[in-house]
Structure 1
Amino acid sequence: MSQAPLDDTSLPVVPEQQLRAARSINDYAESAARYVTTGQQGAVNTQRAYAGDWQRFTTWCAEHDRESLPADVPTVAAFVTSLADSNKKVATIQRHCASISKAHQLARLPTPTDDRQFKELMEGISREKGVRQKQAPAFTLAYFKRALLGIDSTRPDGLRDRALLLLGLAGAFRRDELASIDIKHLRFDEDGLVVDLPHSKTNQKGEAEEKAIFFSPDRRSCPVRAVKEWLTHLEKHGRTDGPLFVSFHKGQRLSRRRLSTFSLNEIVQLRLGAQYTAHSLRASFVTIAKLNGADDSEVMNQTKHKTTDMIRRYTRLDNIRQHNASQKLGL
């Protein structure tokens, strides 16, 4: 017995409220997927490093006629072996492994770096090559002050560089944090300066994070005064918002371009010496503060490190006569 075809009147009626609810749920699902992707991708600097490492891996796979995604364990093992044989640092090899792992995770594919035999390979590479990372050297406070005196503060770039170095040291800033500071992030009061950090390596969620910078008795090495002097120069040229540290055109003319982390590194090396990097400002903060009796919690309050283990790794007490218990034997 055949059935009569359904007409519109025989279809179930879905209330408009239920339709809106269904659309709302779909919207939530799309947002949730976006949040998951953001969480998986990580910080901008990390994404950039992973992208470069992934490009190297895919190029290597193409040259050796291997599949990069999904990659099998023998392919990744051969790749990291080639890196090790070309004298790449263990940290560099580990970062490449992390980028390969991240690419497979984002593609919802099994991660070849989780394989037990692959982990044994990495353990062998680490043991043979050693895992000690090359650290940015720290400078002494006396050396730093001498370098400041050599900066010509009558020049606009001298004003900028002096403020950059003093703020970078006093605030124990990472170079990407220092580069990202805007004028609106600065708050002055009778005690000095508070810098708001919208984002940092340890603050990816945009939670409130601040760094306090204090007045120094010595005007020549006072970070607060140095920043104020640089701000005064910016204001004279109509700059009351935007990036704090910018580059110059020829003839010491201000540009609108924010200093890059690469440029920050160049400024540190120009003013302090080629042996130092922008990260030396942060490393030196830890070392100088510890030598002057600061405890780990005080240091971590400024560096925003999460563990004391990181503070001990950052502390550059390279001179065997510094911080040495031999002086306390009473001989």
Structure 2
Amino acid sequence: MSTLPKFVTSQAIGAVRHIDDYAEAGARYLNTGQQGAVNTQRAYSGDWRRFTTWCREHGREALPADVPTLAAFVTSLAEAGKKVATIQRHCATVSKAHQLAGLPTPTDDRQFKTLLEGISREKGVKQKQAPAFTLVYFKRAVQGIDTERPDGVRDRALLLLGLAGAFRRDELASLDLAHLRFDDDGLVVELPKSKTNQKGEAEEKAIFFAPDRRSCPVRAVKDWLELLHQHGRTSGPLFLSFHKGQRLSRRRLSTFSLNEIVQLRLGAPYTAHSLRASFVTIAKLNGADDAEVMNQTKHKTTDMIRRYTRLDNIRQHNAAQKLGL
């Protein structure tokens, strides 16, 4: 949508501006409201191209799409071995396109929902999840990092902050020095925007001092800031990449590089998302309730906390230990 309806064409607002003058800004706000997180936008765009291409190849109409067309499309995805989550995302994309066009969405059809349920049952809905590590393993890995090297100072700060703050990797990558505020209790990190906070409302994470300096996230971040200051970096991105020879660059660390750092320091099975999953798992094992965990992760529901908790060991968090036998 490029313009808003012109409800009034001559009524002045104040002494200068007319309602027409607000159309361009209003259209911009509307466009922003229709957008999601960057990664979600990219996925939805690719999903819509796949759907429209499939419709064109099969002589079907993509917008509006009827129920048989969408049913045939998702069946083709299932037969091609696509994951249930991928199929569900395609359906969400088609639904969103119809909503924005003011059209009924075929995903609301009862029979279509039954089809999706059948696909889910047959293929299984469990997604591949980033594994969680134990605190003992993590501390051993972090304390083994060579902090005589500049990238070692950066990586230690990144890992400790990432775990203690339960950050998503795009949140970590987007942090600036201006988002940090130190006080006597530790560090407060301001999140200007996140996956669940697209409106830019005030959102903060509290990072606390740890008794062991070698695994203290606050001191690790301070060590990295001191190194940045030595190179004259007092503003801009928090985590930067390096040129060859340990020369600090001015480029913000990408989410891809951040993921590589986690795998380099913690091992191949782990990803950047393991930092967030491990925060939830370790906190729950140490007795934290869902509200405490959500205060840091910024999850909106307790269902997501249960999904994030990696309690694969049968002896972990097991009520059998509390029988009193």
**Normalised TM-score (structure 1):** 0.89
- Mapping 1:176-191, distance limit 5 Å: 176-191=170-185
Gaps of 5+ in 2: 1-8
**AA in 2 matched with 1:243:** P
Matched residue of 2:245: which SS? coil
Partner Cα separation in structure 2 for residue 23 and residue 117 of structure 1: 52
Show the counterpart of 2:231.
Answer: 237
Seen in structure 2, the aligned counterparts of structure 1 residues 109 and 271 have a Cα distance that, compared at 3 Å, is same
Show the counterpart of 1:75.
Answer: 69
**AA in 2 matched with 1:272:** L
Show the counterpart of 1:168.
Answer: 162
Show the counterpart of 1:103.
Answer: 97
**Normalised TM-score (structure 2):** 0.91
Show the counterpart of 1:282.
Answer: 276
220, 224, 239: which is aligned to 1:226? 220
Provide runs of 4+ in structure 1 moved above 4 Å: none
- Mapping 1:39-188, distance limit 5 Å: 39-188=33-182
Partner Cα separation in structure 2 for residue 267 and residue 47 of structure 1: 26
271, 286, 289: which is aligned to 1:295? 289
- Contact 2:10–2:18 (8 Å) recurs in 1: no
Q: For residue 19 of structure 1, report the CA deviation from its aligned partner.
A: 5.7
Seen in structure 2, the aligned counterparts of structure 1 residues 65 and 155 have a Cα distance that, compared at 3 Å, is farther
**AA in 2 matched with 1:309:** D
Q: For residue 58 of structure 1, report the CA deviation from its aligned partner.
A: 2.6
Matched residue of 2:157: which SS? helix
Q: For residue 30 of structure 1, report the CA deviation from its aligned partner.
A: 4.1
Residues 244-283 of structure 1: per-residue CA shift (max 9 Å, x gap): 1111111111222211212211111111111111111011
Partner Cα separation in structure 2 for residue 64 and residue 254 of structure 1: 53
Gaps of 5+ in 1: 1-16
The farther-off stretch of 206-215 and 247-256 is 247-256
Show the counterpart of 1:11.
Answer: none
- Contact 2:191–2:203 (8 Å) recurs in 1: yes
Q: For residue 195 of structure 1, report the CA deviation from its aligned partner.
A: 0.3
Show the counterpart of 2:262.
Answer: 268
196, 206, 210: which is aligned to 1:212? 206
**AA in 2 matched with 1:213:** I
The farther-off stretch of 110-119 and 262-271 is 110-119
CA RMSD of aligned residues (A): 1.9
Partner Cα separation in structure 1 for residue 227 and residue 192 of structure 2: 25
Residues 141-193 of structure 1: per-residue CA shift (max 9 Å, x gap): 00001111221111111111111000000000111111110000001111111
Partner Cα separation in structure 2 for residue 61 and residue 141 of structure 1: 50
Show the counterpart of 1:9.
Answer: none
Residues 88-128 of structure 1: per-residue CA shift (max 9 Å, x gap): 11111101111122222233333222233222211211122
**AA in 2 matched with 1:200:** S
18, 22, 26: which is aligned to 1:24? 18
Matched residue of 1:300: which SS? helix
Partner Cα separation in structure 1 for residue 99 and residue 35 of structure 2: 10
Matched residue of 2:260: which SS? helix
189, 195, 209: which is aligned to 1:195? 189
Matched residue of 1:317: which SS? coil
